[in-house]
Structure 1
Amino acid sequence: MIDLEDMRLFVRAVSDGSLSAAGRELGLSPAVASKRLSRLEQTLGVRLLQRSSRRLVLTSEGSVYYERCLSILADIDEANAMVGRGQMEVRGVLHISASLDLGRQYIGPMAADFASQHPELRMRISTSDAMLDLFEHGVDVAIRSGAMADSRLISRRLALNYRVICAAPSYLAKHGRPTSTDDLQQHHCLMLHRPGRGILPWMLQTPEGPRPLRLEANITTDSGDLMRELAVAGHGLAFKSIWDIADDVRAGRLEPVLTDTAFQEAHIYAIYPSRDFLPTRIRLFVDHLQREMQQQETSVLDLIRPDAGTPA
Structure 2
Amino acid sequence: MIDLDDMRLFVRAVTDGSLSAAGRELGLSPAVASKRLTRLEQALGVRLLQRSSRRLSLTSEGACYYERCVSILADVDEANAMVGRGQMEVRGALHVSASLDLGRQYIGPLAAQFTEQHPELRMRVSTSDAMLDVFEHGVDVAVRSGAMADSRLVSRRLALNYRVLCASPGYLRRRGTPASTDELEHHACLMLHRPGRGILPWMLQTAEGPKPMRLDAIITTDSGDLMRELAVAGHGIAFKSIWDIATDVEAGRLVPLLTQSAIQEAHIYAIYPSRDFLPARIRLFVDFLLERMREREGTVLGLLGMKV
Normalised to the residue count of structure 2, the TM-score between the two structures is: 0.71
SS in 2 for 1:136: coil
1:210 Cα deviation from its structure 2 partner: 4.3
> Corresponding residue for 1:111?
111
1:209 Cα deviation from its structure 2 partner: 6.9
Q: Indicate the RMSD between aligned Cα atoms, in angstroms.
A: 2.1
The residue correspondences of 1:124-135 to structure 2 (distance < 5 A) are 124-135=124-135
> Corresponding residue for 1:27?
none
Do the aligned residues in 1 keep the contact of 2:298 with 2:307 (CA within 8 Å)?
no
The residue correspondences of 1:154-169 to structure 2 (distance < 5 A) are 154-169=154-169
> Corresponding residue for 1:190?
190
Q: 1:126 to 1:235 in 2, by over 3 A?
A: same
State which structure, 1 or 2, has the greater radius of gyration over its C-alpha atoms.
2
Q: For 1:151 and 1:102, locate their aligned partners in 2 and report how far apart those are by CA, in whole Å.
A: 25
Do the aligned residues in 1 keep the contact of 2:181 with 2:206 (CA within 8 Å)?
no
Q: 1:86 to 1:231 in 2, by over 3 A?
A: same
1:157 Cα deviation from its structure 2 partner: 0.3
1:204 Cα deviation from its structure 2 partner: 2.2
Q: Name the aligned partner's letter for residue 155 of structure 1.
A: S
Q: Name the aligned partner's letter for residue 289 of structure 2.
A: L
SS in 2 for 1:125: strand
Q: Where do 4+ consecutive residues of structure 1 move more than 6 Å? A: 206-209
Q: For 2:202 and 2:151, locate their aligned partners in 1 and report how far apart those are by CA, in whole Å.
A: 24
Do the aligned residues in 2 keep the contact of 1:185 with 1:215 (CA within 8 Å)?
yes
1:311 Cα deviation from its structure 2 partner: 8.1
Q: 1:85 to 1:228 in 2, by over 3 A?
A: same
Q: 1:209 to 1:275 in 2, by over 3 A?
A: farther
> Corresponding residue for 2:279?
279
Do the aligned residues in 2 keep the contact of 1:114 with 1:285 (CA within 8 Å)?
yes
> Corresponding residue for 1:298?
298
Cα shift readout 1:55-99 (whole Å, capped 9, x = no counterpart): xxxxxxxxxxxxxxxxxxxxxxx99x9678620111100000011
The residue correspondences of 1:1-312 to structure 2 (distance < 5 A) are 86-205=86-205, 210-305=210-305
SS in 2 for 1:87: coil
Structure 2 unmatched runs, 5+: 1-77
Q: Name the aligned partner's letter for residue 181 of structure 2.
A: T
1:207 Cα deviation from its structure 2 partner: 9.1
> Corresponding residue for 2:65?
none
SS in 2 for 1:164: strand
1:222 Cα deviation from its structure 2 partner: 0.3
Q: Name the aligned partner's letter for residue 217 of structure 1.
A: A
Task: Give the stretch that moved more between structures: 128-137 or 199-208.
Answer: 199-208
Do the aligned residues in 2 keep the contact of 1:205 with 1:265 (CA within 8 Å)?
no
Do the aligned residues in 1 keep the contact of 2:191 with 2:238 (CA within 8 Å)?
yes
Cα shift readout 1:245-279 (whole Å, capped 9, x = no counterpart): 01100111100010001000101000001222211
1:148 Cα deviation from its structure 2 partner: 1.7
Cα shift readout 1:28-63 (whole Å, capped 9, x = no counterpart): xxxxxxxxxxxxxxxxxxxxxxxxxxxxxxxxxxxx
SS in 2 for 1:137: coil
1:151 Cα deviation from its structure 2 partner: 3.2
Q: For 1:108 and 1:213, locate their aligned partners in 2 and report how far apart those are by CA, in whole Å.
A: 33
Q: For 1:115 and 1:230, locate their aligned partners in 2 and report how far apart those are by CA, in whole Å.
A: 33
1:202 Cα deviation from its structure 2 partner: 1.0
Q: 1:299 to 1:311 in 2, by over 3 A?
A: closer
1:149 Cα deviation from its structure 2 partner: 3.3
